Amino acid sequence: MSAEVTYKTHILIGVRANGVKAVIADWSHVPKQAEVLQEIQQAGNGYATFVLCTPTSIIPAEGNGGSGRRNLYGRGL
């Protein structure tokens, strides 16, 4: 997965029956349905659900012990 996350980023998550989630694929653009289906087919069995997500908030991580709680919701991130 690329380190850069923008509001155009799309992330495909596989969810197992026990609730465990795993990132299956990510795109820096809106993927075509065929791209998503291909990744789902390649992921194999074992997943109960697949979720295609986009970020609604992008919160930068603070380095080593810094509090990431400041300004959680705000424009300009």
| Spans of all domains in the chain | 1-77
pLDDT at res. 45 = 87
pTM: 0.73
HSE of 45 in the Cβ direction (CA atoms, 13 Å)?
A: 0
| 3-state SS track over 15-62 | ECCCCCEEEEEEECCCCCHHHHHHHHHHHCCCCCEEEEECCCCCCCCC
Q: Would you say 46 and 76 are in contact if contact means Cβ atoms under 8 Å apart?
A: no
Q: What is the pLDDT along the chain (77 residues), one digit of tens a residue?
A: 567 888 899 999 999 999 999 999 999 999 999 999 999 999 988 999 999 999 999 888 876 555 555 555 555 54
